[in-house]
């Protein structure tokens, strides 16, 4: 399982990130102090670090310079939003830079993108009796193959990777159809209905009023 270290001095943010990344299938550890983070990194093997800049003990810039030889991918998550701050973070070796407040769905997507860049992303996803081989574009349910259209497959991957997160219609449409959303949800709704039936998700893939859909554990 992919191991992620979350370093942020606000416990509420650590808990929010932990909750959502755990639901997406990652193993998370969180700390609120820079020196404690360095200690964790020395004693553990992490696939990715989510790192705040302003920390007690040692700040994020000190930490990324310390761990640079370890070649662990890093995403800065910080309230420091000015261009000079982004440039500094990226020049120090961060793989991405996300400004607070952030959207949880965007965070999960950025985590996946960085892990893919390092060939660490899980190529297989599971949800109950469903197994998805992302690279082979193959889906099985209770061991039996399920035929999906490209759009249905795209929706399936998004829902499984964002379990328990309400996904906006606009985001689903733009990610899967790769075009702007103009408020007509009929096409999306029809695809979701077909996916529900094929996956047996009648009671799991829930419509969220005025938002979109959520796949519930």
User: What end-to-end distance do the CA atoms of the chain give, in Å?
Assistant: 19
CATH of domain 3-117: 3.40.50.2300
- 4 CB contacts (<8 Å, ≥6 apart)? 21, 26, 27, 28, 29, 46, 47, 48, 49, 50, 111
Q: How many CB atoms lie within 10 A of CB 61?
A: 19
pLDDT of residue 171: 86
Spatial distance between the Cα atoms of 96 and 110, rounded to a whole number of angstroms: 8
**Could you tell me the pTM of the whole model?**
0.66
**pLDDT tens by residue, 144-155:** 999 999 999 999
Residue ranges of the domains in the chain? 3-117, 124-215
Identify the pLDDT of residue 152: 96
State residue 31's pLDDT score: 95
Under the banding of pLDDT at 50, 70 and 90, the label for residue 89 is confident
What CATH fold (topology level) applies to the domain 124-215?
Arc Repressor Mutant, subunit A (1.10.10)
Q: Looking at the chain, which runs of residues are DSSP E strands?
A: 3-7, 27-31, 48-51, 74-78, 96-99, 124-127, 130-133, 138-141, 144-145, 167-168, 205-208, 212-215
Query: What tokens does 111 get?
Result: 């985590």
Question: pLDDT confidence of 122, banded at 50, 70, 90?
Answer: low
CB contact burial 141-166 (16+ within 10 A = b; e otherwise): beeeebebeebbbbbbbbbbbbbebb
- The pLDDT confidence band at residue 101, using thresholds 50, 70 and 90, is confident
Residue range 71-83: mean pLDDT, rounded: 88
Choose among 70, 68, 69, 72: nearest CA to 50. Answer: 72
Which pLDDT does position 121 carry in this prediction? 67
């Amino acid at each position: 399982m992919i191991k992620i270290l979350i370093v942020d001095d606000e416990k509420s943010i650590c808990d929010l990130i932990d909750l959502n990344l755990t639901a997406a299938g990652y193993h998370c550890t969180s700390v609120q102090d820079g020196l404690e983070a360095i200690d964790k990194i020395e004693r553990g093997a992490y696939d990715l670090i989510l790192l705040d800049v302003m920390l007690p003990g040692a700040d994020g810039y000190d930490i990324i310079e310390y761990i640079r030889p370890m070649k662990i991918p890093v995403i800065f998550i910080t309230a420091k939003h000015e261009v000079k701050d982004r440039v500094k973070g990226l020049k120090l070796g961060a793989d991405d830079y996300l400004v607070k407040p952030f959207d949880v769905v965007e965070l999960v997507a950025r985590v996946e993108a960085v892990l893919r860049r390092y060939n660490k992303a899980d190529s297989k996803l599971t949800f109950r009796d469903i197994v998805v081989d992302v690279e082979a574009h193959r889906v099985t349910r209770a061991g039996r193959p399920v035929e999906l259209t490209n759009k249905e497959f795209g929706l399936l991957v998004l829902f499984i990777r964002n379990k328990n997160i309400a996904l906006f219609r606009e985001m689903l449409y733009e990610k899967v159809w790769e075009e702007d959303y103009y408020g007509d949800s009929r096409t999306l709704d029809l695809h979701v209905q077909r996916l529900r039936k094929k996956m047996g998700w009648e009671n799991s893939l829930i419509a969220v009023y005025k938002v979109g859909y959520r796949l519930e554990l």
